[in-house]
Amino acid sequence: MQKAEKRQSQRVEFKQEVVFELSAVKRSYTLLEQSSQGVDISTGGLGLEADDELQKGEVVKLYVPLGMGSVNIPVFAEVRWVATSGDRYRIGFQFLT
């Protein structure tokens, strides 16, 4: 039996650098800013590969690049899943509206 797809919109490849901020209240009282590599994007979310693991349910502020310019769109997103990808982590985010 094949696993049902939960996404409501089609993903497209998104190979751009994405910066995100994590308000790490659970870890410490600092604001962590990290850079990661985009994998795919849809109207509902974004997939990234990152060096550090995030926890399911954490909310981050993503800075998604718009086109090939230097404009980044800030958007809040929730970590929906995390998987290992070699020595990095593959993270699925759902955009919050």
Query: What's the CATH architecture for 12-95?
Result: Beta Barrel (2.40)
Q: Which pLDDT score is estimated for 71?
A: 87
Beta strands 45-50 and 59-65: pairing type? Answer: unpaired
For the segment 68-81, the average pLDDT, to the nearest whole number, is: 88
pLDDT in tens, 18-71: 988 876 555 554 557 788 889 999 999 999 999 988 899 999 999 988 876 678
Number of neighbours of residue 78 by Cβ within 10 angstroms: 15
3-state secondary structure the chain: CCCCCCCCCCCEECCCEEEEEEECCCCCCCEEEEEEEEEEECCCEEEEEECCCCCCCCEEEEEEECCCCCCEEEEEEEEEEEEEECCEEEEEEEECC
